[in-house]
């Protein structure tokens, strides 16, 4: 990596990734609800319409199926649409377009038509968004063949992964933990947010770079226990590790599909213990897949059952948000249980 | 306490008796019960004396029992077919406005039927095109080829050579004529009953059959249900099988062409039944907002499997009229009139090409066959209904027109029919020599792991190894 760096929030990093991708390739078009003139309700597309014109960055009607459906047509034409769904909770009207169309086009046409498309959406809670602004729907995408699903946990990864996703020849679901947009969440909600400018991961190169899809990052090396996390939960894992003093190895998956299974199995083979943490509901969640894979691949290395710490199988609550959200305390208890198992 | 009724005498309006539905809005069950009890006890004489009393009850509406309506066709199996309700204007009677007309001035065209071929076998009216003899003969040839192709493939399915088939019987004119209004590079987003778009471009029937048989030469590698063709080169987008999903995609493709300052246009296709899909409306919103260069086609063949069109449309005037709320010009055309379809398709394509925006076109036709090989229409409509369809048979009508014009004869018709059947049989033999679904010469199971992604990710590599391919 060459060139200068600067500090960016995750929002600025995502905006910057759009800017660089649009600058480098005129086929990149960006649209969604409030995305054009206003620059998105979270400001992730701020300034793009002014810079590239309304032909390449524009407002869309409030119709998610139409946003994704038209983007599939654009991708089939030869453009590279990078579209925003305002909240992941709003994506369901577009689910048919994503599952039956975007994900299947290359396969069903024998490669005659393809769908290079990025669908961005903010996910997760921690902002008192209630049940329609807080969900984490990653598992409804990882379950679909033909899709790639990624979730960055910091500005550096957000920029590099988004550019890589826009360049990817297949549809990518790009999930942005909105709790991390403005500053890293240290896991304890009652403590003040650390702004990204004061955080190591807020330092971002100004120029083009990519973070490849399918590569996890080891956020903390450790010998006692492996924590598999992504998005906001990376910071919960760091807090729980600090609070418990357990020498955990924290793996930030970054890309759920394709999944970096090699990094996971190497870590669990070393530690012999594994806790999976995610914010989404538990049953049939992505943690179930991770747990099954670890069991299948690392069974003879395991000293304790693989344990999941997740959101509860309830709608995401409003007033009780922090009782739903997997806290460092809950994760810490699970880590101690796993350490104490024979 | 929901919906409790009472007869009330309002003291301020003596003599006026009203039956009210009331809903209790406070959780005071004891009071509520007492109140109700009082109402029962006093029968029809209740005086609303205090405002506090009113505050506990919200007067909702007159308690007239609602009724639930489910539309149903008037004619079912056993009844005599009746199309007296289908209002068919005389051929040539509908005006042909300039393509750059204000959409507001075109509203009448959504409530009529544009027709060119008269009962006497003449082409009449403003929509008559100046076509040369070769174009006319090709039109007939394409429709006859599609019909012969359907007949052979229907039989092949019955013989167990493939799993499924869908024919076009009665609807051949629509896709065969429409394609002739497009140019190379334009893109159709078809449903499963527009194979005429390929036939009219001389796409090899051999390849279509290989797709139907899912054999080793199937361009889709045996991955798709029969008739779900795909050919980018021929402007034929991969058919999905889901309904109306490709309508917004057609709009998006057209938007992309406009964004790229290209000159290509797109065409979306949907049936009467699936105009009810949300995606139909999504497509209309986007087409309307961005003035996309797209022709949005509705093939109204009267039946959505067993469901008559009143279920998709209710009492609304026509499917074409759905365009009006979006400010999209909407035309209704005789789908069994090759010349009318071609004329309207050219009009709509020209609008798109001249950057005037989208057009909605409803083709009025009749699905003379079953929905698919899995369907038995005699279970839900009279067997004789197809014969009674007042717009006739598209192939027969066009043949009679050509004969009337002195361009054709019964002898040449018989000769062409024989030639086409030979072509189809030859293609079928070639395709079956490669293999059919039942003969087992289908693509390797290894192939199903390909093209899920451009590059096979590690988990699929592992699964393919596990599968032993």
Strands B57-62, A217-220: parallel, antiparallel or unpaired by DSSP?
unpaired
- Contacts of residue B79, Cβ cutoff 8 Å, sequence gap at least 6: B382
For residue A36, give the 3-state DSSP assignment.
coil
Side-chain half-sphere exposure of B393, counting CA atoms within 13 A: 14
Indicate which of A56, A67, A73 best probes the interface with B, i.e. most B CBs within 10 Å of its own CB. Answer: A73
Give B412's pLDDT tier (boundaries 50, 70, 90).
very high
CB neighbour burial string for B52-72, b if at least 16 within 10 angstroms, e if fewer: eeeeebeeeeeeeeeeeeeee
Q: Using 50, 70 and 90 to split pLDDT, how confident is the model at B10?
A: very low
Chain B contact present for A200, CB below 8 A: no
Q: Is A79 near chain B, with CB under 8 Å? A: yes
Among the listed residues B219, B201, B202, the one whose alpha carbon sits nearest the alpha carbon of residue B210: B219
Q: Using the 8-state DSSP alphabet, how is residue A62 labeled?
A: S
B468 pLDDT band (50/70/90 cuts)? very high
Catalytic annotation present for A133: yes
In the stretch 212-231 of chain B, residues with CB closer than 8 A to chain A read 218-221, 223-224, 228, 230-231
Average pLDDT over residues B98-106: 97
Check CB contact under 8 Å for A107 and B451: yes
- Edge-to-edge strand ranges of the sheet holding B266-271: B187-189, B266-271, B294-300, B359-364, B330-334
CA-wise closest residue to A75 among A135, A131, A117, A124: A117
- As a whole number of angstroms, the distance between CA B6 and CA B60 comes to 12
Q: How far apart are CA A311 and CA A123, in angstroms?
A: 13
Look at residues A103, A110, A187 and name the one whose alpha carbon lies nearest to residue A146.
A103
- Return the number of other C-beta atoms located less than 10 Å from residue B122's C-beta: 15
Main-chain phi, psi angles of A70, to 5 degrees:
-70, -35
Q: How far is B332 from chain A (nearest CA, A)?
A: 25
Determine the average pLDDT of the residues in B239-250. Answer: 96
pLDDT digits (tens, 9 = 90+) for A4-44: 999 999 999 999 999 999 999 999 999 999 999 999 999 99
Structure tokens at B303: 């039946």
Is residue A266 within 8 Å of A259, Cβ to Cβ?
Answer: no
Q: Which residues of A touch B254 (CB under 8 A)?
A: 73
Task: Judge contact between A116 and A74, C-beta under 8 A.
Answer: no
Partner A contacted by B260 (CB < 8 A): yes
Chain A hits for B259, CB-CB cut-off 8 Å, are: 29, 55-56, 74, 79
* Identity of the residue in A79, A101, A113 whose CB atom sits nearest the CB atom of B232: A113
Q: Which helix (H) or strand (E) holds B352?
A: helix B338-353
pLDDT reading at B43 higher than 80: no
Chain Cα centroid distance, residue B327: 20
> Distance between terminal CA atoms of chain B?
66
Q: What share of chain B is helix, strand, coil (3-state, %, to 5)?
A: 40, 15, 45
Tell me the β-bridge partners of A80. A28
How many residues in total does chain B contain?
469
Can you tell me the mean pLDDT for A205-226? 98
pLDDT by residue (tens digit) across B150-203? 999 999 999 999 999 999 999 999 999 999 999 999 999 999 999 999 999 999
Structure-token pair, residue B46: 């209740």
What confidence tens digit (pLDDT) does each residue in A248-284 have?
999 999 999 999 999 999 999 999 999 999 999 999 9
What is the average pLDDT value for chain B, to the nearest integer? 90
Using DSSP, state whether B400 is helix, strand or coil: helix
Interface test with B, best of A22, A27, A77 (most B CBs within 10 A): A77
From the number of C-beta atoms within 10 Å of its C-beta (0-12, 13-18, 19+), residue A328 rates as buried
Average pLDDT on A161-177 reads 98
Lowest mean pLDDT: which of A10-14, A201-205, A217-221, B14-18?
B14-18
CB pairs under 8 A between A and B: 147
Instruction: State mean pLDDT over B51-78.
Output: 75
Interface contact B249-A145, CB threshold 8 A? no
pLDDT at B63: 87
pLDDT mean over B304-317: 93
Q: How far apart are CA A287 and CA A211, in angstroms?
A: 23
Best B211, B229, B246, B279 residue to mutate vs chain A (most A CBs within 10 Å): B279
User: Which residues of chain B neighbour A80 with C-beta distances below 8 Å?
Assistant: none
Over residues B56-62, the mean pLDDT reads: 56
Rounded to whole angstroms, the Cα distance separating A74 from A192 reads 43
Q: Does B452 contact A108 at a Cβ distance shorter than 8 Å?
A: no
Is B189's Cβ below 8 Å from some Cβ in A?
yes
The values of phi and psi at residue B150, to 5°, are -55, -45
Cα dihedral value B159, B160, B163, B164, nearest 10? 10
A79/B282 CB distance under 8 A = no
């Amino acid at each position: 990596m060459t060139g200068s760096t600067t500090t960016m929030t995750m929002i600025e990093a995502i905006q910057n990734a759009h800017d660089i991708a649009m600058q480098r390739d005129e086929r990149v078009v960006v649209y969604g609800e409030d995305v054009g003139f206003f620059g998105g309700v979270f400001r992730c597309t701020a300034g793009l319409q002014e810079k590239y014109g309304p032909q390449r960055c524009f407002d869309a009607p409030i119709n998610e199926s139409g946003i994704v459906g038209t983007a599939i047509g654009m991708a089939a034409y030869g453009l590279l649409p990078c579209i925003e769904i305002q909240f992941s909770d709003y994506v369901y009207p577009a689910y048919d377009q994503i599952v039956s169309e975007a994900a299947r086009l290359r396969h069903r046409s024998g490669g005659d038509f393809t769908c290079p498309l990025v669908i961005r959406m903010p996910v997760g809670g921690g902002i008192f968004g209630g049940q329609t602004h807080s969900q984490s729907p990653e598992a409804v995408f990882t379950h679909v063949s033909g899709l790639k699903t990624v979730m960055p946990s910091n500005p550096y990864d957000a920029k590099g992964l988004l550019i890589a996703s826009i360049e990817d020849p297949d549809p990518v679901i790009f999930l942005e933990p909105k709790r991390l947009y403005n500053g890293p969440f240290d896991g304890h909600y009652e403590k003040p947010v650390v702004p990204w400018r004061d955080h190591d991961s807020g330092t971002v190169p100004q120029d083009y770079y990519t973070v490849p899809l399918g590569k996890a990052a080891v956020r903390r090396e450790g010998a006692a226990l492996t924590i598999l996390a992504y998005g906001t939960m990376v910071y919960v894992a760091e807090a729980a590790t600090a609070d418990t003093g357990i020498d955990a190895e924290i793996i930030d998956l970054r890309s759920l599909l394709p999944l970096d299974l090699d990094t996971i199995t190497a870590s669990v083979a070393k530690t012999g213990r594994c806790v999976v943490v995610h914010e989404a509901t538990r049953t049939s969640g992505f943690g179930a897949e991770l747990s099954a894979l670890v069991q299948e691949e690392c069974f003879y290395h395991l000293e304790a059952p693989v344990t999941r710490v997740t959101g509860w199988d309830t709608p995401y609550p409003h007033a009780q948000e922090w009782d739903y959200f997997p806290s460092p305390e809950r994760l810490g208890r699970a880590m101690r249980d796993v350490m104490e198992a024979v | 306490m929901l919906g409790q009724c009472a007869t009330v005498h309002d003291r301020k309006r003596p003599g006026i008796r009203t039956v009210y539905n009331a809903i209790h809005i406070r959780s005071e069950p004891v009071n509520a019960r007492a109140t109700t009890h009082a109402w029962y006890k006093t029968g029809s004489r209740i005086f609303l004396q205090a405002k506090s009393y009113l505050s506990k009850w919200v007067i909702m509406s007159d308690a007239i029992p609602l009724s639930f309506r489910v539309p149903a066709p008037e004619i079912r199996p056993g009844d005599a077919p009746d199309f007296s309700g289908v209002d068919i204007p005389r051929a040539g009677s509908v005006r042909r406005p300039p393509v750059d007309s204000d959409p507001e001035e075109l509203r009448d065209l959504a409530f009529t039927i544009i027709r060119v071929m008269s009962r006497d076998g003449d082409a009449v009216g403003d929509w008559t095109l100046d076509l040369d003899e070769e174009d006319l003969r090709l039109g007939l040839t394409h429709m006859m080829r599609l019909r012969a192709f359907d007949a052979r493939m229907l039989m092949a399915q019955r013989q167990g050579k493939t799993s499924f088939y869908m024919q076009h019987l009665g609807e051949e004119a629509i896709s065969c004529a429409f394609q002739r209004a497009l140019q190379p590079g334009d893109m159709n987003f078809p449903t499963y009953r527009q194979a005429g778009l390929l036939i009219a471009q001389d796409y090899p029937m051999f390849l279509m059959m290989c797709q139907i048989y899912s054999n080793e030469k199937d361009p889709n590698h045996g991955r798709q249900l029969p008739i779900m063709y795909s050919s980018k080169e021929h402007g034929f987008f991969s058919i999905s099988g889901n309904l109306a999903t490709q309508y917004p995609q057609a709009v998006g493709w057209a938007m992309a062409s406009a964004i790229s300052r290209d000159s290509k246009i797109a065409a979306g296709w949907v049936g009467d039944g699936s105009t009810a899909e949300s995606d139909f409306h999504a497509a209309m919103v986007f087409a309307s907002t961005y003035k996309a260069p797209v022709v949005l086609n509705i093939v109204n063949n009267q039946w959505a499997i067993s469901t008559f069109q009143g279920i998709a449309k209710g009492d609304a005037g026509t499917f074409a009229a759905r365009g009006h709320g979006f400010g999209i010009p909407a035309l209704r055309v005789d789908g069994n009139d090759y010349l009318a379809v071609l004329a309207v398709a050219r009009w709509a394509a020209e609008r798109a090409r001249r950057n005037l925006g989208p057009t909605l076109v409803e083709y009025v036709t009749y699905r003379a066959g079953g929905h698919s090989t899995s369907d038995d229409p005699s279970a839900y409509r009279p067997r004789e209904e197809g014969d009674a369809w007042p717009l006739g048979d598209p192939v027969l009508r066009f043949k009679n027109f050509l004969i009337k014009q002195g361009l054709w004869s019964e002898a040449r018709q018989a000769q062409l029919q024989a030639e086409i059947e030979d072509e189809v049989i030859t293609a079928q033999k070639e395709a079956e020599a490669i293999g059919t679904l039942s003969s087992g010469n289908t693509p390797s199971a290894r192939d199903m792991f390909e093209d899920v992604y451009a590059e096979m990710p590690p988990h699929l590599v592992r699964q393919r190894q596990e599968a032993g391919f």
